[in-house]
């Protein structure tokens, strides 16, 4: 690295995301935003993840370390907890070495921006005298629920048909994150999401991947729980998708699966404006075979064109004659560049599992949604899509917890051509405008980011 380049850096931030698709994406986008404001940003991640992003990280430098899973996959007999512990062991050692190495280079890190579920990162920041900044990848509403549980303000298991949480509308039990009302499922992940708040008093900054107008009351309430600045900096959607705001700001997203981009774009190009239903259940959800079948025939019955992302690991759950049966009417791909698809004018509806990134992306690009939440925070996001932001409808589950084909059809029809179509479309356009406004120069999120950058530059 040349002397000249070093001197153009204004300050150096080290970023540490949790190594899964939906945590890395918003942190890469935020890193890029910081870089665009003159900070030097280095992102540390596992070798497996870095292989998918090295070429695409744009202005962000990538450093990687081995966590044994360099080729992906899982270790025979290894549990989720083992993997989290392993990430802690190798990650904390590596991070300290990296910080020491950078100190010797004469241009040290000033700040460690870490995923809020990586609790140990703050100890490392403190040990080396760095600013410790937590990045929360989920919605502020969901964070507020976890915060209340962690602090004992909301006792579990949850009782009562409705639950009151400060800053949020009254929620029915099934609208809480599934970890909270089904308290015994995945204890190691539950403790990750609850423990995000165990050291809330010690972190120097807290970044929320949302924007003020989207979750105003609860953002204000959460900000009061911390003695240090807790600010909304989202949506972390590349500006090129928010009407191409910043020259050269490309989609340096992370794709752990190979996107079938050309096929999708070519197919969408042949379709009329607003005529296609885009369907995706994100990077992790695994649906039952029965549920896949109901969705498949529901899409077919709706008779709209559809583009459905079915990951390779889910393909064998499709009905045997489905792909032949749909012929021209549908396109099934293993992965796509979701933002590119949502931004395409042919897409008129997004059937989503309501992961927070997908929710923010649909909302920021003004695409009406059908919410088919599966688990974790998706249950709460779905409630907001239908009842608070009013940008879509929520599919009803039957007594067996299934969304039936008739319901899939009814929901798609409602969003594509039903009575609520106009209202939903109007709201979607409005939220798209507000999302863009938040990240535009002088908008609420942009101002918050500027405040942080100014503070880092002072030290």
Catalytic residue set:
23, 115
CB 63 within 8 A of CB 43: yes
Give the shortest CB-362-to-ligand UDP separation in angstroms. Answer: 9
Which CB sits closer to ligand UDP, 11 or 374?
374
What lies within 8 Å, CB to CB, of 71 at 6+ separation is 48
Residue nearest ligand UDP (C-beta atom): 355
63 phi-psi bin (left φ>0, alpha ψ -120 to 50, beta other): beta
DSSP label at residue 385: I
Which CB sits closer to ligand UDP, 11 or 378?
378
Q: Rounded to 10 degrees, what is the CA torsion of 445, 368, 172, 194?
A: -40
Which CB sits closer to ligand UDP, 11 or 210?
210
Give the shortest CB-282-to-ligand UDP separation in angstroms. Answer: 3
Give the shortest CB-125-to-ligand UDP separation in angstroms. Answer: 26
Which CB sits closer to ligand UDP, 282 or 392?
282
Closest to 112 measured CA to CA, from 94, 102, 99: 99
Give the shortest CB-236-to-ligand UDP separation in angstroms. Answer: 9
Which CB sits closer to ligand UDP, 296 or 339?
339
Q: Which residue ranges make up the site for ligand UDP (CB under 6 A)?
A: 21-22, 25, 255, 280, 282-285, 309, 335-339, 355-358, 361
Which CB sits closer to ligand UDP, 210 or 283?
283
CB 183 within 8 A of CB 190: yes
Q: How many CB atoms lie within 10 A of CB 413?
A: 18
CB 249 within 8 A of CB 240: yes
Q: How many helices (H) and strands (E) does the chain have?
A: 18, 15
Give the shortest CB-408-to-ligand UDP separation in angstroms. Answer: 19
CB 363 within 8 A of CB 435: yes
CB 14 within 8 A of CB 44: yes
In the chain, the N- to C-terminal Cα span, in Å, equals 23
Residue 37 tokens, joined:
């404001």
Give the shortest CB-398-to-ligand UDP separation in angstroms. Answer: 23
Nearest-angstrom CA–CA distance, 33 and 60: 10
Which CB sits closer to ligand UDP, 143 or 283?
283
Closest to 129 measured CA to CA, from 104, 111, 106, 116: 111
What lies within 8 Å, CB to CB, of 49 at 6+ separation is 19, 24, 64, 254, 256
Which CB sits closer to ligand UDP, 64 or 358?
358
Give the shortest CB-86-to-ligand UDP separation in angstroms. Answer: 21
Nearest-angstrom CA–CA distance, 83 and 88: 9
Nearest-angstrom CA–CA distance, 167 and 120: 29
What lies within 8 Å, CB to CB, of 209 at 6+ separation is 26, 30, 135, 136, 137, 138, 139, 232, 233, 234, 235, 236, 356, 360
Give the shortest CB-382-to-ligand UDP separation in angstroms. Answer: 12
Q: How many CB atoms lie within 10 A of CB 341?
A: 25
């Amino acid at each position: 690295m040349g002397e000249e380049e070093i001197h153009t850096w204004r300050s150096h931030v080290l970023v540490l995301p949790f190594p899964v698709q939906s945590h890395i994406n918003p942190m890469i986008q935020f890193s890029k935003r910081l870089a665009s404001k003159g900070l030097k940003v280095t992102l540390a991640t596992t070798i497996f993840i870095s292989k998918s992003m090295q070429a695409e990280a744009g202005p962000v430098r990538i450093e990687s370390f081995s966590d044994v899973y360099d080729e992906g996959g899982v270790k025979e007999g290894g549990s989720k907890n083992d993997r989290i512990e392993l990430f802690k062991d190798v990650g904390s050692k590596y991070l300290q070495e990296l910080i020491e190495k950078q100190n010797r280079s004469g241009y040290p890190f000033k700040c460690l921006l870490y995923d809020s579920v990586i609790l140990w990162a703050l100890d490392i920041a403190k040990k080396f005298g760095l600013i410790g900044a937590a990045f929360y990848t989920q919605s502020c509403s969901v964070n507020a629920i976890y915060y209340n549980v962690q602090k004992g303000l909301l006792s579990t298991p949850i009782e009562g048909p409705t639950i009151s949480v400060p800053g949020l509308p009254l929620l029915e039990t099934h609208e809480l994150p599934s970890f909270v009302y089904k308290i015994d499922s995945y204890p190691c992940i539950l403790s990750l999401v609850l423990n995000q708040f165990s050291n809330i008093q010690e972190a120097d900054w807290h970044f929320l991947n949302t924007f003020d107008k989207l979750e105003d009351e609860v953002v204000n309430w959460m900000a009061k729980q911390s003695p240090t600045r807790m600010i909304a900096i989202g949506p972390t959607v590349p500006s090129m998708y928010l009407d191409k705001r910043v020259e050269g700001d490309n989609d340096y997203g992370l794709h752990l699966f190979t996107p079938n981009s050309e096929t999708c774009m070519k197919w969408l190009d042949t379709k009329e404006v607003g005529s296609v239903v885009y369907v995706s259940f994100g990077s992790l959800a695994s649906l039952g075979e029965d549920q896949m079948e109901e969705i498949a025939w529901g899409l077919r019955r709706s008779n709209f064109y559809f583009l459905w992302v079915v990951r390779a690991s889910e393909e064998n759950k499709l009905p045997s004659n489905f792909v032949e049966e749909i012929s021209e009417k549908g396109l099934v791909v293993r992965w796509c560049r979701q933002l590119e698809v949502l931004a395409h004018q042919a897409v008129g509806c997004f059937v989503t599992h309501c992961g927070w990134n997908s929710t923010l992306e649909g909302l920021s690009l003004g695409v009406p949604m059908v919410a088919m939440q599966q688990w974790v925070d998706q249950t709460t996001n779905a409630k907001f899509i239908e009842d608070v932001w009013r940008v879509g409808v929520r599919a009803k589950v039957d007594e067996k917890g299934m969304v039936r084909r008739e319901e899939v059809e009814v929901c798609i029809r409602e969003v594509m051509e039903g009575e609520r179509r106009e209202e939903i479309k109007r709201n979607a356009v409005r939220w798209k405008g507000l999302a863009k406004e938040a990240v535009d120069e002088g908008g609420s999120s942009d101002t918050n980011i500027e405040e942080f950058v100014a503070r880092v530059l002072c030290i």
